[in-house]
Amino acid sequence: MAKVILKKKIDVQSTALSDVKSYARKIWLAGLGAYTKVGQEGSEYFQELIKAGQTVETKGKKVVAEKLEAANSEIDEAKSEVSTFKAKVEVQLDKVEKAFDTRVASALNRIGIASKHDVETLSAKLEELTALLERVARKH
């Protein structure tokens, strides 16, 4: 009877050992299969990521170009408005300057100070008289 019990124990142990070996082999093969599958699909997935990145990059460049164009357009409009405003300011400054010159000339004339135009006119007349006197002096 002891032999039967011992034999049953050995049979149970060898069966359990055989089951463990079989299970370990299945785990090993599943790992190899997963590694192979990841290697194949990983490469394909990497290519998909590259394509997705290229698409996003293209769209991003397009958006940046559109925003840049819009900003440049706004800058051009602002430049145009500034130029128009500058021209209006220059016209107003010219009017103010002419009004100031007129008033100063009028005030100087009232107190008896000759204007630049008056001095130039007198200088021209003086030059004419000098030339006339020189001609008369040569004749005599």
- Per-residue model confidence as pLDDT tens digits over 1-28: 445 454 555 555 667 677 788 888 888 8
Where are the domains positioned within the chain?
A: 2-139
Q: Kindly state the average pLDDT of the residues 60-84.
A: 94
DSSP letters of 71-121?
Answer: HHHHHHHHHHHHHHHHHHHHHHHHHHHHHHHHHHHHHHHHTTPPPHHHHHH
Terminal-to-terminal C-alpha distance of the chain = 179
Distance CA 121, CA 125 (A): 6
Q: Do 85 and 79 contact (CB within 8 A), yes or no?
A: no
- What residues have CB less than 8 Å from 108, skipping those under 6 apart? 114, 115
Distance CA 106, CA 108 (A): 5
Q: Do 108 and 115 contact (CB within 8 A), yes or no?
A: yes
- What residues have CB less than 8 Å from 112, skipping those under 6 apart? none
Residue 66 has pLDDT above 50, yes or no: yes
Structure letter (DSSP) for residue 140:
-
Which pair of structure tokens corresponds to residue 81?
């408005």
pLDDT 10s digits, 94-134: 999 999 988 988 888 888 888 888 889 999 999 999 999 99
Distance CA 81, CA 93 (A): 18
pTM, two decimal places: 0.41
